[in-house]
Chains A and B, each alone.
Chain A
């Protein structure tokens, strides 16, 4: 019954979505028609219905209803509760339902609160949102029904992929999805504005919170994904340039560019067409990412829930959305009048530079990710990895970060570098000092050394915009920018340190003996079997002592899950302020020695602290912007009231 309720709600939501699309489109002729008045309520109720359907799915997983195919294939009665619930979206059908739920709720929210834009543009936006949504409803209802029943109930479920039974990963996909869906809203705004040719600062202010929100979630999602891959896969790496990782990085790059250009449009009424273009590209990248991940068209160790038939469905949607919006863009871009002018050396100029570099980076990642597909068409199989991405990416990243360190100091419209030469000198001096210091310390390879120097310069540079300001009075959005830029410096420092200073030790150690890596001395005290709720494991007990200090206990495991049967490696970490010790236990060699893989990774945690800081900066900016908007709206309504009173007198 519950499953049928969910399915019914979903069909009803799809019907409302169709109404929203039609109503919004027809309202372009007459924005006061009865149909036009239906659009907003339709969007709101559609959001509620989709939310209801998702709750029903959660409920089915909560009670482990094994008559539902999705539950039987992805859950198990013995699974911990949180993973039962996470099982609802830890698969293709459930994650698509989550996607559409978030999208419908976002559409409902716009319909409920957004009153800033001309009504016609708003209705066009809701119509565009419904256009995207309808494709997903069709996908869900026609080829991936999450509520499908089994002919007869299963006795027991198959379980969730053990690698996904991890608290970090349970919440990682929804985080990314919030980001993707936020970009779909930005896309709808862009299409809506193109349809009514209303591209102006007001439009940018309406779109910005959605871009910011999406960007925050993407940042958190990528950070969490990187940390998950780092500790769960047991390889000790934090980024593999795997297609699935790239699939999340590409929308982030586009969203970062969009975030900055939408800021220029809001503040200075420049970069109109460029912002629209980025709005289209950012969402296209999230669709492309979904396609790459879901279709299994690329070799990836991360690819779950792969199905070529569904891949082609997404491909059709992808072509429809990207093709349609680009066509619209081509038709309309010329009629969006040119914005305000600015000179090359200005805040806008720096932001354009950042945008160009980000776009170049996006192109590089995109090419590298798709290249294996292209060559395979000619029957040549290749894999593209760090030897391509790292150096080629760095060529564009480093100049971008340098401009980023000083760009925020420039004034809008027109400025000269001479005015900010002191600040530039400070940043340059710090970079050179760090560069010299690292070169004296030893030889570490070009990229990490440059990374350390740029990180130091950027760390200082990011705080310079606060110089000479009253720190308490500085706007929240300024603080947001400062913290986000500082976060980039922190993450970069972590990446460069990890690459430059990591030490690795592979050893076969008998019980009672010890091994050394970096400043650590690690003794293998014991190896014993342990059991968990749905797995058994071999657990090593390691006493690790830093520089002769008190030992910490580490317990790496090699786990065997029995539903489904699978072996996983559970690494363990000892975290200190200056780095992490990473330990993995392997097989037992014939003579009784145990394989240990140990890493000492100085400052590796800064990579993810940086990610969190970046997201925090985004959050501060978002709060600051929303507050300013509310204030502005309040002032406006007061003015209107006063005008009314005056008129009455």
Chain B
């Protein structure tokens, strides 16, 4: 009798542990998400309501024509990201530019603003091909998803 009770008791313990773990995971995840998710900003939004310097954010916009320049060390580049409105943000990135990074095209950068308002990018998001547009930029980019078809029609 007591053995059966004990087994039931122990099963209850398992269920409680499981519940605690799952609820704990949920709470932990939502807490971490609120703190660790980096917000997406366009240059306009930065101008309107700048995030704190050093806070991890994601910046998206168009690379301004003629703004790309390479620094003395040969590997740090600076360029200006702009959007449909007139706000601009200067971005500095040390590293090799991703494929398909061109002036006049969309870019998404992970990083943070420094004290001078320059965006220091840790990573520039590369596009996989010319049809891929970061979702954040769909409103502002001119690329149409049907480009493959257009190209096809021009070939045939």
Chain B interface extent, by class: 35 or more
List, in ascending order, chain A residues with CB within 8 A of B6's CB: 343
B73 lies within 8 A of chain A by Cβ: yes
List, in ascending order, chain B residues with CB within 8 A of A68's CB: none
User: With the chains together, A568 CA to B99 CA distance in Å?
Assistant: 6
List, in ascending order, chain B residues with CB within 8 A of A299's CB: 108, 134-136
Give A342 Cβ to nearest chain B Cβ, in Å. 7
Residues 578-600 of chain A, each 1 if its beta carbon lies under 8 Å from chain B, else 0: 00000011110111010101000
Residue of A nearest to B18 (CB): A356
Give A485 Cβ to nearest chain B Cβ, in Å. 21
Contact (Cβ within 8 A) A566 B29: no
A158-B155, A299-B135, A589-B70 in contact; A163/B36 too (CB < 8 A)?
no
A352-B14, A371-B33 in contact; A301/B127 too (CB < 8 A)?
yes
Residue of B nearest to A375 (CB): B37
User: With the chains together, A150 CA to B149 CA distance in Å?
Assistant: 11
Contact (Cβ within 8 A) A383 B96: no
Residues 501-514 of chain A, each 1 if its beta carbon lies under 8 Å from chain B, else 0: 00000111000000
A304-B128, A364-B29 in contact; A356/B96 too (CB < 8 A)?
no
Contact (Cβ within 8 A) A506 B38: no
A304-B128, A363-B22 in contact; A388/B32 too (CB < 8 A)?
yes
Within 8 A of A (CB), among B103-156: 108, 110, 123, 125-130, 132, 134-136, 145, 148-149, 151-152, 155-156
Partner of B29, one of A163, A363, A567: A363
A299-B135, A368-B29, A589-B74 in contact; A352/B18 too (CB < 8 A)?
yes
Within 8 A of B (CB), among A137-188: 150, 152-156, 158, 161-163
Partner of A154, one of B10, B96, B155: B155
A158-B155, A367-B29 in contact; A385/B99 too (CB < 8 A)?
no
Contact (Cβ within 8 A) A356 B127: no
Partner of B33, one of A72, A341, A367: A367
Contact (Cβ within 8 A) B39 A382: yes
List, in ascending order, chain B residues with CB within 8 A of A508's CB: 73-75
Contact (Cβ within 8 A) B32 A391: yes
Contact (Cβ within 8 A) A380 B74: no
List, in ascending order, chain A residues with CB within 8 A of B145's CB: 306-307
Residues 340-354 of chain A, each 1 if its beta carbon lies under 8 Å from chain B, else 0: 011110000100110
Within 8 A of A (CB), among B42-61: 56, 58
Residue of B nearest to A396 (CB): B25
Residues 84-99 of chain B, each 1 if its beta carbon lies under 8 Å from chain A, else 0: 0000000000111111
Using CB atoms and an 8 Å cutoff, list the residues of chain A in contact with chain B.
69, 72-73, 150, 152-156, 158, 161-163, 233-235, 296, 298-299, 301-304, 306-307, 341-344, 349, 352-353, 356-357, 359-361, 363-364, 367-368, 371-372, 375, 380-385, 387-388, 391-392, 395-396, 506-508, 558, 564-569, 584-587, 589-591, 593, 595, 597
The 4 A-B pairs of least Cβ separation, nearest first, read A508-B74, A586-B96, A381-B40, A360-B25
